[in-house]
Amino acid sequence: MALALVAVVVAGLAVFAAPPSVTSALTVYVVGSAEDSNDGMCGGEDCTLREAIDAANGHLNSGGPDQINFAIPGGGVKTINVSSALPFILDAVVIDGLTQGPTACGTPLVEVSGTSGAGDGIFLQSGSGSTVRGLAIGNFSGGSGIRSSAGGLTIECNNIGTDAAGLAAANATGVRLQSGPSNNTVRWNVIAKNNAGSGLGYGVLANPSNGTLISENSIFDNVGGTAYGSQGGTGPGIVSTSLQLPAFVTMSRPAGGVVEVGGAFIREFPATSLGQTAKFEFFASPTCDTSGFGEGKTYLGSYTKTDADDGSLDGVVRFGPNFGDAQALSGWPPGSRITMTATHVQSGSTSGFSRCLDPGLRIDSTFPTSVPVGIGDPTISITGAGLDGADVVALVTNGNLQPLAVLSPTSATTANLTLPSSVLGTPGNFSILLKHADPTLGSSVFFDFFIGPRIDTLGDSSAPVGSENVTVVIAGEGFKNAPLNTTVIRVNGVDSQTTFVDATHVTATLPAVALAAPGTLQLTAFNPRWNAGSNILPFFVTPVASPIDSIDAVTVVEPLVTTVDTTGTGGETEATTGEGTGTVAVANYDGAPGGVTPATFSAANGYFDVYVAPESTFGTTTITYCDPLGGTALYWSPDGGLNWDFIENVTLLAATPPATCLQFTVGSDPSVHPTIFDRGGTAFALTPGPVLEGPAVSPSLVPVGTAVVLSATFSDLDLPDDSHSWTIDWGDETVTEGVALSAVISDSHEYHESGVYRVMLRVTDEAGAYDEEQYEHIVVYDPSAGFVTGGGWITSPVGAYAPDPSLTGQATFGFVSQYKKGANVPTGNTQFQFHAAGLDFKSTSYDWLVVAGAKAQYKGFGTINGSGNYRFMLTAIDGNELGVGKPDTFRIRIWDAESDLPVYDNQLGVDENADPTTALGGGSIVVHKK
């Protein structure tokens, strides 16, 4: 009859309600004495356990096993101290300690206590169908608590390795089931503390050839090494080679076909054929065994799953993806470590314990989920829990290889993980395991990661729009041709017709629907068994046939600054991304990608393409293009080369024809085009736009009301067929413009206020390409406006003194600058001393003086410490002219007249015409009005 089971926890041990005793034996022997004597008689209160075993061995069973019951007088727990080995059991018998009195499974009233010389506690040598129930068996340090070489054995409701109170009473091994017989059941027992004598301290050592069911026990603190049978196994809790499956299971988190178990997952569990059933049992313990695998102190519950024919034809039982009915697993004691066993129901075979799980340490996801084969030591991002533990390390396992991975936590839930290249050499999968350095604290579940194929080159990189079923030869590594795992080329995520050639080559047919419009196609290789994809290479669909001269691409799976470049007859293209992940490619065209030469400019060979895959995380891409024909103006096409827009903010890196290099940056702001993702691949054209030479202004130092003349020349390879216009911003809110009838520009202007002015000249061709140059400075002075005097000190800031930027301290000054009557050059004297640097500057002459309101500025020459030739510019503001309480401010710039190298500037890095901001520490500045 079935045995009902209800589990509770008492004093840390699993205690079970008593199942009814078996009553089918024909002969019953009652143990009435706790003595260990043997007078050959078993009757009444004189019958000892030793005598009862001898009597049962001497009785030939005919209708079922004999039964040994207990009725030792008196209350409480009765202890039978065994001084020598009990008789081996030679015929089927039921030894039922629960008959001693009203009790429950897990609270025995009969203890069988041995010594080092007593061998095994109970040894069932022969006789199939025996049962040992309801005893506390311990202190057999020279053997096992229960040992059997018979089949059909049931061991239930015993304490093995502890006394009736749960205190240690260690055996060398708890339960030992020798090889040969089968169909054994070990259930509802407390098997703990077994580590005595010369034994290895196993809880259960099971070696039968077929079915040993080990279920719903409390197995813990059995100290010993790890042993492996012919089909695998695990350490001190259960060592079992009885399964027709691997003898232990692991919890894992692969991409599909799994069972969720309270946040963990179970790896595929192999079976002999489809339609098999597995029962998973789950346990909690305060700590793990030192082996890193588990024992199970508190039984939590179970889940049974029968395999369905999933079409894989691989004889694998896959469980999942949901585990919603495993309610028993919600609410294990806080801080517990979790383990599990698996039982093959058809054979009744139970595995050893799984790896011991710390539920607070886990990997939930990775980005990316796979990497291409052979890409070095990539860094991936992981999310999970407990990632910042000081003792947490990461392993990757591929077969027996278990190299360390470099774990760099950024928080408790996020980390970067650098994978070792030793596991990335072959497409497939490996597992990532997080574990504590202390094995008793457990590990995470395994997390499956995948290695995909890699594509290196495309035989053709472009095709004209409207092409029909273009076949492309693709070279790379890791291509497969196996059932359920044949490499397929995906075009924008859709499988294409793919033909396997060899491990490094496939061909793919690009369907007409993908070639129906201009754009960029993403080609990836995909191995379906591992759900693993390759890097991306772009394929360009152009309005007409536009052969690509050269192409290169890079895919990165960790946040990096990435550079990709290619050189062709049309020029050299380089793209450098901001930090991020994704794919970037560059290509050079032999001609206009749209097949139509632009009407407003000629790009010659200066056509190129930059592609950034849409899922990339790069924020910016800086593009450099060097044109052997000397182009200086850049355009981009939003429609594959049919129409072109001019790009501003382009930096000319080299301006010496015939070779020029331009650099520009595109970003992800959707309002500023071109963006990093425009068209997926964005076509560019470099044209020889206008190039200014000059400008020059004469005179550049003038009194108010005097005209100045700006003149400049420009060149353009499109001259004389191209027309040009010009604009001049004179810096005083006056702008003039005109049309250049030749390559010469000239215009004049008259300033009506004193000041220092910058002038900007721009020349633009009819296609919108332009060049602009700035002229510095035009100085306009008013001799009648006044003069400036000052004296005092400032605190010289860090960085002001170029030879030693660390110096700071007090600097003193005194100056006067004025125009004498009728003069057009100012006179005066300027002195500046920075004492910490030993700097003593004195002026020798002035160039000009400009006084405008509260501000005065003048420029001239001078010496330092009595020698040298230095330029200086002094700017001062009279605070009283701005209002009551406004400070006087001062700035002086000094630089070498020959080398232009700076010597001193107390407002370093600021425009030389900006207002001074350094307030005086003492003294005053006065702007005098005439």
CA atoms within 13 A on the CB side of 719: 14
What strand order describes the sheet that includes 691-698? 691-698, 707-715, 744-750
For the ranges 100-109, 326-335, 777-786, 831-840, the maximum mean pLDDT occurs at: 831-840
**Secondary structure element (H or E) that encloses residue 653, with its range:** strand 651-656
What is the Cα–Cα distance from 328 to 359, expressed in whole angstroms?
Answer: 16
**Secondary structure element (H or E) that encloses residue 49, with its range:** helix 49-57
Both tokens assigned to 579: 């930090």
Reference 224, options 193, 248, 188, 246; nearest CA is 193
User: Does residue 333 carry a pLDDT above 70?
Assistant: yes
pLDDT of 307 = 57
pLDDT of 264 = 34
Q: Are 53 and 59 in contact (CB under 8 A)?
A: no
**Average predicted confidence (pLDDT) for the chain:** 80
> Which residues make Cβ contacts (< 8 Å) with residue 160, sequence separation at least 6?
136, 137, 138, 145, 146, 171, 174, 175, 189, 190, 191, 192, 194
User: Does residue 320 carry a pLDDT above 80?
Assistant: no
User: Does residue 496 carry a pLDDT above 70?
Assistant: yes
Both tokens assigned to 435: 């574990």
What is the Cα–Cα distance from 561 to 567, expressed in whole angstroms?
Answer: 21
Both tokens assigned to 788: 């400036």
Output the CA torsion sign for 50, 55, 57, 58.
Answer: positive
User: Does residue 84 carry a pLDDT above 50?
Assistant: yes
What is the Cα–Cα distance from 886 to 888, expressed in whole angstroms?
Answer: 7
Of all residues in the chain, what percent carry a pLDDT higher than 70?
A: 83
Over residues 712-716, the mean pLDDT reads 86
pLDDT of 596 = 67
pLDDT of 18 = 37
Q: Are 621 and 610 in contact (CB under 8 A)?
A: yes
pLDDT of 208 = 57
pLDDT of 6 = 25
Distances (CA, A) of 164 to 7, 108, 135, 157, 810: 17, 6, 8, 12, 89
pLDDT digits (tens, 9 = 90+) for 513-570: 998 887 788 899 998 877 788 888 888 887 766 667 777 777 776 677 878 888 877 7
User: Does residue 894 carry a pLDDT above 80?
Assistant: yes
pLDDT of 227 = 32
pLDDT digits (tens, 9 = 90+) for 742-788: 889 999 999 988 878 889 999 988 777 778 888 877 888 888 888 99
Reference 469, options 496, 434, 450, 493; nearest CA is 496
pLDDT digits (tens, 9 = 90+) for 905-928: 999 999 998 999 999 999 999 999
pLDDT of 323 = 33
Which has more pLDDT, 176 or 244? 176
Q: Are 4 and 16 in contact (CB under 8 A)?
A: no
Say whether 515 sits in a helix, a strand or coil.
helix
What is the Cα–Cα distance from 126 to 51, expressed in whole angstroms?
Answer: 18
On the 0-12 / 13-18 / 19+ scale of CB atoms within 10 A, 63 is: exposed
Give Cα 110 distance to the centre of its chain: 58
List residues bridging with 493 in a β-sheet.
Answer: none
Which amino acid, residue 814?
A: G
How is residue 844 annotated by DSSP? Answer: E
Both tokens assigned to 36: 């260990």
Q: Are 520 and 540 in contact (CB under 8 A)?
A: yes
pLDDT of 178 = 82
Which has more pLDDT, 33 or 178? 33
In which band, very low, low, confident or very high, does the pLDDT at 96 lie, cut at 50, 70 and 90? very high
Phi and psi at 174, nearest 5°, equal: -70, -70
Q: Are 841 and 864 in contact (CB under 8 A)?
A: yes
Q: Tell the residue number behind the tokens 């999933």, with chain if given.
A: 310
> Which residues make Cβ contacts (< 8 Å) with residue 924, sequence separation at least 6?
790, 791, 792, 888
pLDDT of 604 = 62
Over residues 706-722, the mean pLDDT reads 82
Q: Are 560 and 458 in contact (CB under 8 A)?
A: no
- Lowest mean pLDDT across 15-19, 461-465, 481-485, 561-565: 15-19
Over residues 214-220, the mean pLDDT reads 89
Per DSSP bridges, beta strands 110-113 and 131-133 are unpaired
- Lowest mean pLDDT across 154-168, 713-727, 802-816: 713-727
pLDDT of 808 = 95
Torsion, Cα of 620, 626, 627, 628 (10° steps) = -170
Over residues 237-244, the mean pLDDT reads 41
pLDDT digits (tens, 9 = 90+) for 449-475: 888 898 988 888 888 888 888 999 999
Return the number of other C-beta atoms located less than 10 Å from residue 126's C-beta. 16
Over residues 615-635, the mean pLDDT reads 80
pLDDT of 199 = 60
pLDDT digits (tens, 9 = 90+) for 102-143: 888 989 999 999 987 788 999 999 888 999 999 999 999 889
How is residue 501 annotated by DSSP? Answer: E
- Lowest mean pLDDT across 90-99, 513-522, 871-880: 513-522
